[in-house]
Structure 1
């Protein structure tokens, strides 16, 4: 969620315009606004702190270099998260990860998850392994929907695909998560790759 601007603060679009004119102060302001959000996004896609830091730095470098290409017709946040998404996809090639969907978000996707009888630590580990099994495109849709609170239309712009594709990816992510969930009878959850 974008933090509210106080009176007199420049908008993200204004900052990008100033950055396109090589304004280092504007980049610093945008950096402070977006690094926490881009970091959270990268954490959902990657696990290595080094990879996350590298992605964040790469994103801000691309913002600096490509600011003149921002047309202003869309939201600056959508443009920046598009860069973050593509940068994360590049970094995924080197992944040896432990990415996860936090329990609160998993509970939102699958009601009753926290009442499944599994211990919290076991459940955290299980959800982490479950999240790893989702394709990067589905993970990105979950992250942008639940953590960044973006609309499907904004996510479609970030991912460079039609809005219906975003909806389809969300549908398949939810279906895969539900298929691997323990049933209401208390049976064990489906075996997840990498668990004993």
Structure 2
């Protein structure tokens, strides 16, 4: 597939209903509908996968793999979530598979339960200023893919815990747990990377 043109926006006025209509057409073998979905999601998937993997050289391959899965399994979409959530979930799993082929696993995140939930003020504060963003990017690179996913989806894409759970294929409580430990890990990493003032702004 070719790259999306610069004027195509992933946040098109098409909306969830339009996306679902395209998925129905894809499930019926409509290649033009698949092409439209590709252009609709290309930029969003590129941004999501780049931040998740930090590997621009494999991003396009993962996007194409994702859209192939969409083509083959569109008939399995039941409408329990938004089409975008379903497609991002496919991309997430393809990304983890690609990463697992190239480097040893970083281990599973801890599964202790926690009542912690995403706090938008955390990332709003961290995102202020180029220097703070640089520290944050460096710290995020050192998180496990699972921990990085919840941070990126919650604070970059603004998804709810329920939507993240659907993408990651895990219970909502697991998402909250990963969020809790991801914040703790970010605090440790930011302090180690000589940004203690930033680390202090993370919640305990």
Fold equivalence (TM over 0.5): yes
Superposition TM-score, scaled by structure 2 size: 0.72
Structure 1 unaligned residues grouped into runs of 5+:
97-106, 191-196
Pairing 1:3–2:11 present: yes
Q: Distance in 1 between matches of 2:49 and 2:138?
A: 17
Distance 1:23 1:157, change over 3 A: same
Note the C-alpha offset of 1:21. Answer: 0.8
Equivalent residue in structure 2 for 1:135, among 127, 144, 161: 144
Distance 1:61 1:173, change over 3 A: same
Note the C-alpha offset of 1:15. Answer: 0.5
Q: Distance in 2 between matches of 1:42 and 1:32?
A: 16
Q: Distance in 1 between matches of 2:14 and 2:136?
A: 38
Superposition TM-score, scaled by structure 1 size: 0.75
Which residue does the alignment assign to 1:100? none
Which residue does the alignment assign to 2:68? 61
Which residue does the alignment assign to 2:85? 78
Distance 1:90 1:80, change over 3 A: same
Which residue does the alignment assign to 1:19? 26
Which residue does the alignment assign to 1:169? 178
The two structures, once aligned, show a CA RMSD in angstroms of 3.2
Residue deviations 1:105-147 (CA, integer Å, cap 9, x gap): xx943847868xxx93x972x4333212211111111111122
Q: What secondary structure is seen at the aligned counterpart in 2 of 1:154?
A: helix
Note the C-alpha offset of 1:175. Answer: 1.2
Q: What secondary structure is seen at the aligned counterpart in 2 of 1:15?
A: helix
Residue deviations 1:93-112 (CA, integer Å, cap 9, x gap): 2159xxxxxxxxxx943847
Judge conservation of contact 1:46–1:88 (CA < 8 Å) in 2: yes
Distance 1:178 1:65, change over 3 A: same
Note the C-alpha offset of 1:51. Answer: 0.6
Q: Distance in 2 between matches of 1:45 and 1:112?
A: 18
Distance 1:111 1:60, change over 3 A: same
Q: Distance in 1 between matches of 2:133 and 2:13?
A: 38
Which residue does the alignment assign to 2:41? 34
Number of residue pairs matched by the alignment: 172
Judge conservation of contact 2:151–2:179 (CA < 8 Å) in 1: yes
Q: Distance in 2 between matches of 1:166 and 1:83?
A: 17
Larger radius of gyration: 1
